[in-house]
Amino acid sequence: MKVFHVNQGDLHEAYVVVPPADVQNRIVSYLDERCASIDEDIAKRREVIGKLKEYKKSLIARAVTKGLDPNAEMKDSGIKWVTTIPSHWQTAHLKTLFEVTKRIAGVDGLTVLSITQNGIKPKDFSSGKGQFAETYSHYQLVRRGDFAMNHMDLLTGWVDISSYDGVTSPDYRVFVTRDATVSNPKYFLYLFQMCYLNRIFFGSANGVADKGRMRLQTTAFNNFLVPLPTVMEQKKIADFLDERCADIDEAVSRQEQLIEKLGEYRKSIIHHAVTGKIDCREA
């Protein structure tokens, strides 16, 4: 990767436009006012994004623990991180719903998968970023539809359902649904990701939180107690969240695009003002 730089000699030889002092002062005053207005608009949009993301988190948390019926009769859950659940729901330990697998590839040449907070992605070897192994034959297999989880660091880790066949680190956790008539994968994906976002797994983890080393060991994972709606209700919850979260994500994306445009507009105003393309005496 080529790195561009400007040395002191280049700066000494550079020419710049120097307007009269009174014009400089007008330009500064103009830019102070215009940039402050743009910066305020950007700050408000970032605040909106923050609120949308918090709303999404609370929406998911409520749906996966309380269901979709606001009038449902509730009962004590018996789960330390959920006070009450609908009275017709059950609870279950994860070991009864999922099977942890460990299938070592034994060969190279398979797609290497990274578990990122944007989902499970094929590793980008062209970027030169991250760690690289001499061989990936000791990595474990991940099949399309498998859950894969970075449980080694609950602060920066994530869990997702793979859309790819490939391999991932042998230190990660790959697991599959035991019985599709009991557990809907998409519902549990929302539940697992909510446990990351709200740091619910921390209560069952080992490590030091402020050092970023909180780990959810296999025994703790297997014995983790979760709400268990009927599989039909799980699907309804997952479908509801798919639709609502897509709307929220779209709203966030619109705000991010506007922030990007405002940033470009801010740079454009500065450029035009300091190069004399805007008459700041009358603007």
Domain locations along the chain: 90-228
Q: For residues 138 and 88, what is the distance between their CA atoms, to the nearest angstrom? A: 45
75, amino acid identity: K
Tens-digit pLDDT profile for residues 245-271:
999 999 999 999 999 999 999 999 999
Q: For residues 56 and 250, what is the distance between their CA atoms, to the nearest angstrom? A: 12
The more confident residue out of 183 and 278 is: 183
The more confident residue out of 7 and 150 is: 150
**pLDDT value, residue 230:** 97
pLDDT at 210 over 60: no
Domain formed by 90-228, architecture: Alpha-Beta Complex (3.90)
Tens-digit pLDDT profile for residues 33-77:
999 999 999 999 999 999 999 999 999 999 999 999 999 999 999
The more confident residue out of 2 and 122 is: 122
The more confident residue out of 153 and 264 is: 264
pLDDT at 208 over 70: no
**pLDDT value, residue 42:** 97
Q: Give percent above pLDDT 90 in the chain.
A: 74
pLDDT at 283 over 60: no
The more confident residue out of 124 and 115 is: 115
Q: For residues 280 and 269, what is the distance between their CA atoms, to the nearest angstrom? A: 11
**pLDDT value, residue 205:** 87
Give 254's contacts (C-beta < 8 A, 6+ positions apart). Answer: none
Q: In the beta sheet, which residues pair with residue 175? A: 100, 147
Q: For residues 161 and 238, what is the distance between their CA atoms, to the nearest angstrom? A: 14
Tens-digit pLDDT profile for residues 226-239:
999 999 999 999 99
Classify residue 144 as left (phi > 0), alpha (psi -120 to 50) or beta: beta
Q: Are 74 and 84 in contact (CB under 8 A)?
A: yes
Q: For residues 184 and 171, what is the distance between their CA atoms, to the nearest angstrom? A: 26
**pLDDT value, residue 10:** 66
Q: For residues 114 and 162, what is the distance between their CA atoms, to the nearest angstrom? A: 10
Of 178, 195, 190, 185, give the one whose Cα is nearest residue 231: 185
Q: In the beta sheet, which residues pair with residue 149? A: 159, 173
**pLDDT value, residue 126:** 72
Of 118, 219, 100, 119, give the one whose Cα is nearest residue 170: 100
Other beta carbons less than 10 A from residue 281's beta carbon: 10
- Average per-residue pLDDT in the chain? 91
Q: How far is CA 218 from CA 93, 175, 204, 230, 260, in A?
A: 12, 11, 11, 26, 43
